[in-house]
Amino acid sequence: MIILKTEEEIGAIRKAGRIVAACHREIAKRMKPGATTAEIDRFAEAFLLRNGAKPAQKGYRGYPYATCASVGDVVCHGFPSGKTLRSGDIVTIDMVAEVDGWMADSAWSYAVGKPSPEAEKLLKAAKQALYDGIRKAVAGGRLGDIGSAVQQTAKREGYAIIDYFVGHGIGRSMHEEPQVEHRGKAGSGKKLRKGMVLTIEPILTMGENRIVIDDDGWTARSADGKWAAQFEHTIAITDGEPLILTDQD
């Protein structure tokens, strides 16, 4: 069942979204050679709490941290670690904030120090794929419009999409219906309606889209060791333009 949200409820999700966005902006300043993702995780958790939000990922299905920190070939759900980041690394930080029971989810990929031209191109394409998907999130359209737009951008830029992981509805629960696939056919799939709140979160990789999961049960890596990047927003469908509830700007 897809739970449509009222404007008031979307406002409540936006409150959580603003805190996530502010936290990402602070993380951007801290993503430097010599930093560790464990430090960044501790910072993020304290930042959310200080701003009246709960780090909703912590304890979710046993996930032990406030953030997922996915470096290099880790495509998502990496554990924050004490390993020092080096110039040229790329790191995705994903987090969910909960305010008054409403959740917002956003992931951002960061370059540490000076990225290679290849890494820079991957990051740019991953962000572009997200925004091209968001543009199709309008009432009267279909889920396949979003998936198709994301897929076309990734393909045009020469990247595969890790289709094992999908976007989702979000609200009082972190994961609600529908699943938002990052591939599809325009004009197909469920109808998009005003009041839907969804995440769009494509993971693009330089290699193939097969993954393996580490023994920790969470860390998902590309099977071929190639790097991946991901940008994710929580968005709301309205009468007009989609609202980006975890906007960075």
Contacts with ligand MF3 by CB under 6 A lie at: 57, 60-61, 63, 68, 77, 94, 96, 105, 199, 201, 232
Q: In whole angstroms, how close is the CB of 96 to ligand MF3 at the nearest point?
A: 5
Select from ligand MF3, Co ion, none the partner in contact with residue 57, using the beta carbon and a kind-dependent cut-off of 5 to 8 Å: ligand MF3
Select from ligand MF3, Co ion, none the partner in contact with residue 73, using the beta carbon and a kind-dependent cut-off of 5 to 8 Å: none
Cβ proximity to ligand MF3: between 141 and 169 the closer is 169
Select from ligand MF3, Co ion, none the partner in contact with residue 61, using the beta carbon and a kind-dependent cut-off of 5 to 8 Å: ligand MF3
Tokens coding 141: 């359209």
Q: How far apart are the first and last CA of the chain?
A: 32
Residue from 41, 94, 132, 145 in contact with Co ion (CB under 5 A): 94
Which of 28, 247, 47 lies closest to 123 in space, CA to CA? 28
Which of 112, 129, 88, 93 lies closest to 21 in space, CA to CA? 93
Q: Which residues of 120-145 are buried (b: 16+ CB within 10 A; e: fewer)?
A: ebbbebbbbbbebbbebbbeebbbbb
Q: In whole angstroms, how close is the CB of 94 to ligand MF3 at the nearest point?
A: 5
- For residue 181, the 8-state DSSP code is -
Residue from 107, 134, 198, 243 in contact with Co ion (CB under 5 A): 107
Q: How many residues make up the chain in this entry?
A: 249
CB 190 within 8 A of CB 142: yes
Q: Which residues of 26-46 are buried (b: 16+ CB within 10 A; e: fewer)?
A: ebeeebeeebebbebbebbbe
Cβ proximity to ligand MF3: between 86 and 212 the closer is 212
Q: In whole angstroms, how close is the CB of 8 to ligand MF3 at the nearest point?
A: 24
- Taking the mean position of all CA atoms in its chain, how far away is CA 244? 13
44 is a contact residue toward Co ion (CB under 5 A): no
Select from ligand MF3, Co ion, none the partner in contact with residue 45, using the beta carbon and a kind-dependent cut-off of 5 to 8 Å: none
Give the Cα separation of 188 and 141 in Å (integer): 9
Q: In whole angstroms, how close is the CB of 210 to ligand MF3 at the nearest point?
A: 20
Cβ proximity to ligand MF3: between 32 and 137 the closer is 137
CB 111 within 8 A of CB 120: yes
Cβ proximity to ligand MF3: between 209 and 219 the closer is 219
Q: In whole angstroms, how close is the CB of 202 to ligand MF3 at the nearest point?
A: 11
Alpha-helix residue ranges (DSSP H) falling in 4-140 = 7-30, 37-50, 117-135
Cβ proximity to ligand MF3: between 57 and 222 the closer is 57
Cβ proximity to ligand MF3: between 89 and 94 the closer is 94
Residues contributing to the site for Co ion (CB under 5 A): 94, 105, 107, 232
